[in-house]
Structure 1
């Protein structure tokens, strides 16, 4: 009996040893990972009890056609990754309350199993909040039907109840795939960059409990924040803390404070920003290969785990693109992100730079995987549109409302909404005032376009001509993306407050509206009455085109205005002539041999109603509809008669600088004047973030801020506009022009706070990369109740 027991135990031990060996070498093969353990050790992660350095690449399955998932995963592995990091977006899986969808393109479990099949591990970031330049940061629009909604807080029981229910649904899909259950999920994130929004330890603890209650009770939990914010709240000791920062960062300084407080913790950069996202009307964002690869090498030399955000960005198809605020700025459809793997799954210089670097840091016996074949590309000859359906001739059934309301209150999540009412007669022009327009509108009177208003520019007033009695006023509003980051995330669409008429003497609130909803689903677009005509305003355009073969292509939208495209029922995304994106990625797997259908909704009028398919994308061509500069031609800021409230200097160290004034000062307009730079002969100025602190010791809200003047801005060689100083993004910055323009100090920016405030200090953040170009040394601060003379 003892002999039999010994044989059994020996067999179990040998099997366990063999399994451990297979697991340890699984990242070198395509064998399926069969489970194990993952935990925190002293200064390192432990996989099956052995040190494990995470080399992760982030990719988002909703941004990649399902047929391409495997190729994108294999590309990450070939680049040197052993792990794939993924977000889930709550609003993607629960578009209507209590209707959860994890099928087809949304089958996250299938995606994670495919990662496992490729011999890679997975880090899951389920939210409930994600960010990711995704509409409302992944929070569902229907939450906004609750008028007093609060999010990411214990102060709203409805939000906490719904987010817990969502997490349980995620758990049903993915909890069985924890590494301890035989799967490949080694970590699950609790919330996301919470310190950039709040500091409630109690909320984070409640969310941690919700994640565990969802079934993630075995896997290692983690959270991520910035080096400057990770200690804004406490976290349960079982949750690993990781930091996020961008290309070119000084690695030692990023982790300095964290290591001092957590000397035994493993180090990981959970989002190493390989590039950056693009905004409509702004220059295309890039990050150099040298700065990006330099900091990545620094992490490898220090045995710091990382996740490339993004390894491959893909495409934000449909209505899912988000926005930043302040200032309001919506994201383009392409999520190329200047990442190592391009939007179409193509390899780039960054891809090969990463691969060439990581081959020097592989474990014994580990080899880089082969690079999979790139998906084929094709051109499509000119598609001419001869069928159209004018918008105002194809209105859906209207809904009556006494008062103006946002689209969510009409049970609409995305798209366009038209508000119609009648005007009283007036023999003179009047002003139309819209309070809280979200986000872009065309104003019509009796079907004639009067003008446009744009939230990006804080437009809210337009002059309308004299009108006869009962003239029809139409306000056609497009939602261009909900804010996905910061305090403005509760971002209802349409017109959210009121519409008024001012005749120079009195202001009257308009009422008695008929509201028309234009959702984004394909069935709604296809049902309109198309005929051979050339519309002179907002319209749908439809065409058929035949293909003898299929492959990926880029639809050239450069002759069109502003709107959305559907091909064979798939919503390909938004387009806008202002750029920088002029093409839309069209996956070949969504095309068909034979007849294909394309529908374009253009809220303006195309210069030419035709489209061709290109082999090369155009994502770097802006055609701004207004000057991007904060300084008008001939403007000069006059400070000779102004008295500064502070003249001082900063040291040359990186990181936030805090300045406290002797007394509080009141004013609405502030001027920051850089007198010199830290480096001799440096003629530029750069600022990553600038905050002004109120008498309560807290930074003043930036939601109403506006740049009135900047003597110099770099908006051609890079996207370094002056409003970057208050965009709440530490890796972006304002910079004076590198060449040309004003080439010497002083450099000034003037900010309108939007209201009079009382300030007791300021906080200044220099650029966060390794460069010291433009770092401010001597400076002056001016504050006034009235505008500065320009």
Structure 2
């Protein structure tokens, strides 16, 4: 570990990247969240942390070192917070800054799980609360979603998509309103900068679940007003003025008087994205392609490589494969003296993560663990023949454990027992301690079939659909345009895919999330957890798999699949991602956009709330207004509808202001639209399209 850490530090120093050298690197981190598990190691864990701290600081980076989630981080290491909320966090010394190294913008998706998301109102609340209570540094995890290409997923059953509901999504598209609202939050905090860096906050209670924090020194003053109640909006009195605070929100007052932003009131537009399906455009003329456009090679069942080896007993998988492959074959031949066609049961116990069992070359059954429990036990009915029978068990991993006390000992694979049950006279046969033959990986992996350029690809015989252990290949033209691209793997079972030799990751569209745990909408009020806000229950966890445009050529692209369970590749299609609609919903009680802060003082005119729309691409203009209502509109983006009160001028006014422009702004007030219902709080809701 010391050699590795020193190597990384030396590489950074050689490029003059540390801030102490004039570069951009302002912090170094040693260890990560070890404090969550170090108690399991007792005194050795404490000694290790002291050693790691001493080792790191001895490397003389010229910038501070941090340890995340390490309450006893030795001086001068700064202990920091990771989590959904860090406002209550306190560093272990008053000489250390309060730092939030991982603000979790969402959560990861497991295969077999529903899709988690985190409402931006809650995320903005968490950010504002952190700075309200003396925070100095905050970092998002994740700010840009990603993709676990190849076999890089960081933990068992983590899906290939690592979108994380981040402000910028897996495809590089800004996720609205999350990105825009957080941008406004940070602009608002920036307006308080002079006060924030000059002094510590004075925190007082304004009532139950109500809190004010004031940063004041001389003539400089900034304040944060928080309502941490999960249900009730309130009006509070602060410094002689009244302020309306929605539940679970923070208002930011850069001058201790005027609200520039409330975390629950979103000025930013939201966007609805959609995927447009395109058929797989096969390149014509490939000599290998069949009438389906696909060629194929069957992966042999069981032992097929020269580097296989015998071993008595059942081996743990990770130490056997050294992660060279997801796959490990366990193969055994037995002599069955019973009647041909006799039904027995093959009992298998595995540490995970999944397996396929073959009897005499035929798939007899499969089983998988899940993200909460990797281990499993399965009883597979099998039919044996008289005499020699071959049992081939293909065990596979779906990402490796990378965190937890003693996680290196958790293991994977079939460690047994493996027992044949239901033999003659009710006997059983324990196969666990017999001499098994092992093969690390697949023959097709050794042959480099993933590149598509090697091997004897077949296109002449009957095209194999819904059969296990098949390599498939086709050539295709890239979807036109510049929109992000994904492959829809509906119709396939489980496996891995490569585009032009680059692995786009494991696919598993047949792993369906539970029907329970999702809601039509998620109440942002109250503490967030990974299971609070989820969508896509009862559906496959992931059907769309990102293919970077940079990996594609206009034509002549090669797509290779390895299918484990059985599927139909002719059902595969490409999709491209577009922004379908822009929406905004702004009330007459919203603060003006942060960029208009103090503009009323400069212009002499009172500035009110504004609804703004901007097309996502520079070459686009607003082409239509699908909905506009000023009054009491209801619903959400894509499903707005008129309430009991609605101005009959709204649509024409918004159309005139917006159509033909790349962006537009409309004041949200009765001065603009007339007053359709006096004495009622009103808002403006708009849905537009760009082209």
Aligned to 2:379: 462
**Deviation at 1:354?**
0.5
* Structure 2: distance between partners of 1:576 and 1:186: 40
Query: What pairs with 1:769-788 in structure 2 (closer than 5 Å)?
Result: none
Query: What pairs with 1:67-106 in structure 2 (closer than 5 Å)?
Result: none
Distance 1:496 1:320, change over 3 A: farther
* Structure 2: distance between partners of 1:182 and 1:284: 42
Aligned to 1:386: 294
* Structure 1: distance between partners of 2:82 and 2:9: 25
Aligned to 2:508: 576
**Deviation at 1:430?**
3.4
Aligned to 2:390: 472
The secondary structure found in structure 2 opposite 1:180 is: helix
Q: Which runs of 5+ in 1 are unaligned?
A: 1-162, 324-328, 367-374, 619-790
Which of 371, 379, 401 is residue 310 of structure 2 equivalent to? 401
The secondary structure found in structure 2 opposite 1:495 is: coil
Structure number, greater radius of gyration? 2
Tell me the alpha carbon deviations over residues 438-481 of structure 1, each in whole angstroms, 9 at most, x when there is no partner.
21111111122111121226432323334122111111122111
* Structure 2: distance between partners of 1:278 and 1:309: 14
Distance 1:515 1:534, change over 3 A: farther
Aligned to 2:463: 534
Which of 472, 477, 494 is residue 562 of structure 1 equivalent to? 494
Q: Does 1:198 align with 2:38?
A: yes
Which of 138, 149, 157 is residue 330 of structure 1 equivalent to? 157
The secondary structure found in structure 2 opposite 1:207 is: helix
* Structure 2: distance between partners of 1:589 and 1:377: 19
Distance 1:217 1:608, change over 3 A: closer
Aligned to 1:222: 66
**Deviation at 1:492?**
3.4
* Structure 1: distance between partners of 2:146 and 2:427: 53
Aligned partners of 1:563 and 1:601 also within 8 Å = yes
Query: When you count helix as a share of all residues, which structure comes out higher?
Result: 1
Aligned to 1:300: 131
* Structure 2: distance between partners of 1:528 and 1:396: 15
* Structure 2: distance between partners of 1:473 and 1:550: 50
Query: What pairs with 1:207-218 in structure 2 (closer than 5 Å)?
Result: 207-212=52-57, 215-218=59-62
The secondary structure found in structure 2 opposite 1:402 is: strand
**Deviation at 1:494?**
3.2
* Structure 2: distance between partners of 1:219 and 1:365: 23
**Deviation at 1:385?**
4.7
Which of 476, 490, 512 is residue 545 of structure 1 equivalent to? 476
Aligned to 1:430: 344
**Deviation at 1:410?**
4.5
Q: So what's the TM-score if we normalise by structure 2?
A: 0.57
Aligned partners of 1:319 and 1:481 also within 8 Å = yes
**Deviation at 1:485?**
2.5
Which of 576, 579, 587 is residue 615 of structure 1 equivalent to? 576
Q: Does 1:602 align with 2:434?
A: no
**Deviation at 1:594?**
2.4
Query: What pairs with 1:736-775 in structure 2 (closer than 5 Å)?
Result: none
* Number of aligned residues: 429
Aligned partners of 1:482 and 1:489 also within 8 Å = no
Q: Does 1:288 align with 2:128?
A: no
* Structure 2: distance between partners of 1:241 and 1:547: 48
Distance 1:472 1:216, change over 3 A: farther
Distance 1:522 1:595, change over 3 A: farther
Which of 313, 329, 343 is residue 145 of structure 2 equivalent to? 313
Q: Which runs of 5+ in 2 are unaligned?
A: 40-44, 195-272, 282-291, 512-539, 580-691
The secondary structure found in structure 2 opposite 1:291 is: helix
**Deviation at 1:380?**
4.7
How big is the alpha-carbon RMSD for the aligned residues of Structure 1 and Structure 2? 3.0
Aligned partners of 1:313 and 1:342 also within 8 Å = yes
**Deviation at 1:550?**
6.7
Q: So what's the TM-score if we normalise by structure 1?
A: 0.51
Query: What pairs with 1:628-777 in structure 2 (closer than 5 Å)?
Result: none
Distance 1:505 1:497, change over 3 A: closer
Aligned partners of 1:553 and 1:613 also within 8 Å = yes
Aligned to 2:682: none
Q: Does 1:523 align with 2:367?
A: no
* Structure 2: distance between partners of 1:550 and 1:401: 54
The secondary structure found in structure 2 opposite 1:543 is: strand
Distance 1:605 1:436, change over 3 A: closer
Aligned to 1:588: 549
Tell me the alpha carbon deviations over residues 63-93 of structure 1, each in whole angstroms, 9 at most, x when there is no partner.
xxxxxxxxxxxxxxxxxxxxxxxxxxxxxxx
Aligned partners of 2:309 and 2:439 also within 8 Å = no
Aligned to 2:73: 235
* Structure 1: distance between partners of 2:294 and 2:51: 57
Aligned to 2:108: 277
Tell me the alpha carbon deviations over residues 10-32 of structure 1, each in whole angstroms, 9 at most, x when there is no partner.
xxxxxxxxxxxxxxxxxxxxxxx
Aligned partners of 1:378 and 1:553 also within 8 Å = no
Tell me the alpha carbon deviations over residues 473-514 of structure 1, each in whole angstroms, 9 at most, x when there is no partner.
111122111122223622434334553334444442343323
* Structure 2: distance between partners of 1:479 and 1:245: 28
Distance 1:346 1:616, change over 3 A: same
Aligned to 1:514: 437
* Structure 2: distance between partners of 1:243 and 1:611: 44
Distance 1:279 1:365, change over 3 A: closer
Aligned to 1:650: none
Tell me the alpha carbon deviations over residues 243-287 of structure 1, each in whole angstroms, 9 at most, x when there is no partner.
1121xx4x54x32xx36x534431111111110001111110111
Aligned partners of 1:557 and 1:582 also within 8 Å = yes
